[in-house]
Amino acid sequence: MIARCEASVVALAARLEALWAALARATPAQFQARPGGASSLGAHLRHVLDCVQAIVDGVAGGVVDYEERARGVPEETDLEAARGRVAALLPRLLRLSQETADFPLAIRTLLDPDGSPVELQSTLGRELAHALSHTVHHAALMHRVGEAVALPWAIELDMAPGTARFHRAEAARP
C-alpha cells in the first residue's frame, strides 16, 4: 500500500486554521506587539506560513528552500494581509493530500549563519511532519506573546498531538 499525505496535510491545515482563528481575535496592536523584544504574533505567523509555503512551492521543482523567505512583509503587521495569505495557502496545501508520503524532495537550509545553505535529501511526508511540529513550536511561543498582550489562547493549540493525547488520557482517569 502506498502511503498518501492526506493525514499529514489535513492535520497541518487544521492546525493552521485553528492558529488563524486564535489570531483573528487579536487587535492590530496585539498582533504587532513585541513584548520584551520578542517576535510579534504576526512575525511568528509569517514564519510558520513561510515554512508551509516552501513545501508547497518546492513540490513542483523537487527542492524545498527554507531560506527563501521575506521578512518585514505586510502579513507581519496587517491582519487582513495575514488572513489573505492563510486563505491563499490553505487550498494549495490541501492539494498535496494525494501525493505519496515518500515523494522525494531535497531541502535547502542554512546550518550556520556564516556558511552556505546545504541541500539534504528528504520526503514530502517528512517535511509535512516537520511543518506540523514547527507550527506547534511557534504556537507555543505565540501563546506566551498572547499572554503578554492579553489575547486568549486555546491550550491545545500549542501542544504536540502526543502531549494532547496524554493530557486527555490523564484527565479521563478515575
Q: How does pLDDT run across 54-74, given as a tens digit for each residue? A: 999 999 999 999 998 888 899
- 146 occurs within a structural domain: yes
CATH of the domain at 124: 1.20.120.450
140 domain-assigned: yes
Binning pLDDT at 50, 70 and 90, where does residue 160 land?
Answer: confident
Give the model's confidence band at 159: pLDDT under 50 very low, under 70 low, under 90 confident, else very high: confident
The pLDDT value recorded for residue 166 is: 86
**Cα–Cα dist 66/58, whole Å:** 9
The rounded percent of the chain whose pLDDT value lies above 70 is 99
Question: What number is the average pLDDT over the span 6-10?
Answer: 96
- On the question of pLDDT at 42 being above 70, the answer is yes
Q: Is the pLDDT of residue 23 over 60?
A: yes
Residue 132 included in any domain: yes
DSSP string, 88-156: HHHHHHHGGGGSBTT-EEEEEE-SSTTS--EEEEEEHHHHHHHHHHHHHHHHHHHHHHHHHTT----GG
Mean local confidence (pLDDT), 72-97? 96
Q: How confident is the model at residue 104 (pLDDT cuts 50, 70, 90)?
A: very high
- Residue 174, in any domain of the structure: no
Domain count, the chain: 1
Within a domain: 171: no
Which residues constitute the domain of residue 123?
6-165
Higher local confidence (pLDDT), 150 or 167: 150
Q: Considering the domain boundaries, does residue 153 fall inside one?
A: yes
pLDDT at 1 over 70: no
pLDDT for the residue 174: 86
Q: Mean per-residue pLDDT for 7-12? A: 96
| pTM of structure | 0.91
DSSP state at residue 10: H
Domain annotation covers residue 40: yes
In a domain, 173, yes or no: no
